[in-house]
Amino acid sequence: MSEFVMTIDGATPAPEAVFEVLNPATGEVFAEAPECTTRQLDAAFDAATKAQRAWKLDEGARRSALKKMADVLFAATAELAPILTAEQGKPLADASVEVMASAIWCQYFADLETPPQVIQDDGEARVDVVRRPMGVVAAITPWNFPLTLAFWKIAPALLAGNTLVLKPSPFTPLTTLKVAEMLRDTLPPGVLNVTSGGDELGAWMSEHPQARKISFTGSIETGKKVAVSAAPDLKRLTLELGGNDPAIVLDDADPALVARAIFAGAFNNNGQVCSAIKRVYVPERLYDDVVEALAASATDIKVGDGAEPDTKLGPINNRPQYERVSELVSDAVAHGAKAVTGGHPMDGRGYFYEPTILADISDGVRIVDEEQVGPALPDIPYRDLDDAVERANSTHFGLSGSVWGTDADRAAEIAGRLECGTAWVNTHLALGPQQPFGGFKWSGLGVENGPWGLSEFTELQVVHRSKSADGLNLGTAGLVS
Ligand code: NAD
């Protein structure tokens, strides 16, 4: 693998220390990434602050830069995908999709128009409500979709006229570092600074006085720490956090059909998706059929090194996560659950875990109540639909959920009762750049994507122009204040 470097002020800072990056398919070190020092981080924020002065002035230049960024990403897909597979574990085809999705996000935001609103235009005044950039955005990303989730932040933040200092997860820093290097000819120096390092680097970033906004994707636990760091100087905050996303199967569903789709919604990226299905509620009458069909999908799917062409599920990304999934499954079995298929780590090297379907389990067991983020799916029988909805909602999580049935209107009505940011009907994980994504409750603060996500990288400003000759027309507010 080629050398990986940070991009600060459009250049490579001299590396002072490095850390190792493992391939989860082998468990072995295959590359090194630079360990950003506090001095280098300061330099990144200085560069971003300086670059923002010009960057915020030319919207046309920002739109054309985003289009060029998309071109760079599309052109580099074949080079980037193997790096992403090596550090994250996902199959090459999925890694290519992730790179292309990042390009598509740039294209979407390049063309997204949010015209100013004129809320008054009469003889007294003209009042415009406009969006202004915030300044420097500190962006922090997790290991499951390192590149896509970075571009959920980069594309809207840049369009809005901000500059960025970004830090990928220490488990998956390489693709993001490489992309920043590739974009040096496309963006002015300092507009996109990409650093790398451990968790402490994320803490330094969220405390940094030059960051006006933190856009964070990761776990609830870390998200709360970031919120605390942001509080002293009232940094703006978007938090995209964990989910424990329920799927509710209705009694009119076709078991084989829904099981196939639910399996895809649960095991995408080997279950390592914040909004993947994490627990399934199935009517008692359909329970055995749904569980059997899910188990068949889990048994059939090819698990292996993402670099091999026929692999459909790769390894778990990192050792702590691999141990967590193993622990949650063992705990479930110890509490009486049945692993219909799977239930064990796989032999050999790497962080491979058997795709696991758990039956005869209910709420109150850790793998049902917590976020597993891995290839193990608990299936819970229910008798009463209201009770299933109640149980689906009885959690601090609120990222997404789905309802499955032949009568789509009825399913949509039930989906509307789920307390979560995205409620899908007869599908799961259908996402797009135009669709706001965020969590209720502890699953997040604010949203990403669409005009709603863009507005989170802006401050609202009122421009009120008096039309009276002496400027003394204060309007109604002037009379009462
Ligand atoms: P994590 O919270 O451990 O780490 C996320 C990022 O935060 C990493 O870059 C990490 O280095 C950094 N970090 C760690 N400690 C920090 C601190 N004190 N201050 C600032 N930054 C710090 O999460 P993870 O294990 O990398 O990712 C998995 C989690 O992310 C899961 O909970 C998953 O559901 C969630 N996630 C959420 C979304 C979403 O959009 N809602 C998307 C993907 C993943």
Question: Is the Cβ–Cβ distance between 248 and 402 less than 8 Å?
Answer: yes
In a domain, 279, yes or no: yes
- Does residue 294 surpass a pLDDT of 60? yes
The protein residue with its alpha carbon nearest to ligand 1, atom 23, reads: 218
Question: For residue 379, is it within any domain?
Answer: yes
Residues 323-339: what's their mean pLDDT? 98
User: For a pocket test of ligand 1, which of 169, 220, 225, 449 has the largest count of ligand atoms closer than 8 A to its C-beta?
Assistant: 169
Same domain flag for 231 and 334: no
Q: Whose CA is nearest to atom 42 of ligand 1?
A: 274
Q: Do 159 and 307 belong to one domain?
A: no
Query: Would you say 47 and 193 are in contact if contact means Cβ atoms under 8 Å apart?
Result: yes
Rounded CA-CA distance 326/52 in Å is: 46
Across the chain, what does the average pLDDT equal?
A: 97
Please state, in angstroms and rounded to a whole number, the distance separating the CA atoms of residues 149 and 144. 9
Residues 233 and 167 grouped into a single domain: yes
CA of 142 to the centre of ligand 1 (A): 5
In a shared domain, residues 118 and 197: yes
Classify residue 361: in a domain, yes or no.
yes
481 band by pLDDT with thresholds 50, 70 and 90: very low
Q: Residue 220 C-alpha to ligand 1 middle, in angstroms?
A: 8
Pair (193, 231) in one structural domain: yes
Q: Closest Cα to atom 39, ligand 1: which residue?
A: 240
Q: Cite the active site residues.
A: 240, 274
Question: Which parts of 76-115 fold into alpha helices (H)?
Answer: 77-88, 92-111
List the residue whose alpha carbon is closest to atom 18 of ligand 1.
203
Q: How far is CA 189 from CA 25, 124, 180, 277, in A?
A: 36, 44, 11, 41
Please report the pLDDT score of residue 479 as a whole number. 52
Are 334 and 211 members of one domain?
no
- Tell me: do 49 and 115 sit in the same domain: yes
- pLDDT tops 60 at residue 247: yes
Residue 481 lies inside a defined structural domain of this protein = no
What is the rounded average pLDDT of the residues 410-435?
98
How high is the pLDDT of residue 472?
A: 67
Q: What is the pLDDT of residues 446-458, one digit of tens each?
A: 999 999 999 999 9
What's the gap in Å between 222 CA and the centre of ligand 1?
6
**Domain co-membership, 106 together with 226:** yes
Q: Which ligand 1 atom is the nearest neighbour of the CA of 169?
A: 9
The share of the chain scoring above pLDDT 90, in percent, equals 96
Residues in the ligand 1 pocket, defined by CB under 6 Å: 140-144, 149, 167, 169-170, 199, 202-203, 206, 217-219, 222, 225-226, 240-243, 274, 371, 373, 399, 439, 444
What per-residue confidence (pLDDT) applies to 469? 76
Type of residue at 454: L
Q: What is the pLDDT of residues 202-225, one digit of tens each?
A: 999 999 999 999 999 999 999 999
Q: What is the pLDDT of residues 131-168, one digit of tens each?
A: 999 999 999 999 999 999 999 999 999 999 999 999 99
Express each pLDDT in 42-62 by its tens digit.
999 999 999 999 999 999 999
Closest C-alpha residue for ligand 1 atom 17? 203
Task: Count other C-beta atoms under 10 Å from residue 192's C-beta.
Answer: 29
Distance of CA 150 from the midpoint of ligand 1 (Å): 12
Q: Tell me whether residue 315 is in a domain.
A: yes
Query: Structural domain of residue 119, as residue ranges?
Result: 18-241+439-463
The answer on 197 and 67 residing in a single domain is: yes
Residue whose Cα lies nearest atom 13 of ligand 1: it is: 199
**Same domain as 198, residue 65:** yes
pLDDT in tens, 53-100: 999 999 999 999 999 999 999 999 999 999 999 999 999 999 999 999
CA-nearest of 428, 404, 455 to 253 is 404
Asked whether residue 476 carries a pLDDT value surpassing 80, the answer given is no
Atom of ligand 1 nearest to the CA of 438: 41
Does pLDDT of 11 surpass 50? yes
CATH number for 328: 3.40.309.10
Distance 288 CA to ligand 1 centre (A): 36
Q: Is the dihedral of CA 279, 280, 284, 287 positive or negative?
A: negative
Which residue has the least CA distance to atom 40 on ligand 1?
240
- Closest ligand 1 atom number to CA of residue 167: 9
At residue 477, the pLDDT reads 55
Give the per-residue pLDDT at 313: 98
pLDDT tens digits, 112-123: 998 889 999 999
List the residue whose alpha carbon is closest to atom 30 of ligand 1.
218
Q: pLDDT tens digits, residue range 365-389? A: 999 999 999 999 999 999 999 999 9
What is the distance of C-alpha 80 from the center of its chain? 19
CA of 268 to the centre of ligand 1 (A): 18
**In the chain, what's the furthest Cα-to-Cα distance?**
83
Tell me the average pLDDT across 290-297: 98
Q: Is residue 322 part of a domain?
A: yes
Pair 119, 461: CB distance under 8 Å? no
Q: Which atom of ligand 1 is nearest to the CA of 221?
A: 2
Q: How many domains does the chain have?
A: 2
Residue type for position 152: W
Same domain, yes or no: 237 and 187 = yes
pLDDT computed for residue 471 by the predictor: 72
pLDDT in the model for residue 363: 96
The rounded Å distance from CA 470 to ligand 1 centre is 55
- pTM, 2 dp: 0.97
Residue 10 lies in a domain: no
CA of 141 to the centre of ligand 1 (A): 6
Element (H, E) at 339: strand 338-341
- Ligand 1 pocket: which of 200, 217, 447 to mutate (most atoms within 8 A of CB): 217
- 15 falls in which pLDDT band (50, 70, 90)? confident
Which of 279, 259, 358, 263 is CA-nearest to residue 313?
263
Are residues 59 and 132 both part of a single domain?
yes
- Which of 199, 240, 370, 437 has most ligand 1 atoms within 8 Å of its beta carbon, as the pocket-test mutant? 199
Task: State the CATH number of the domain containing residue 96.
Answer: 3.40.605.10
Whole-angstrom Cα distance, residue 194 to residue 9? Answer: 9
For residue 478, being part of any structural domain is answered with: no
Handedness of CA 89, 90, 92, 97 (dihedral sign): negative
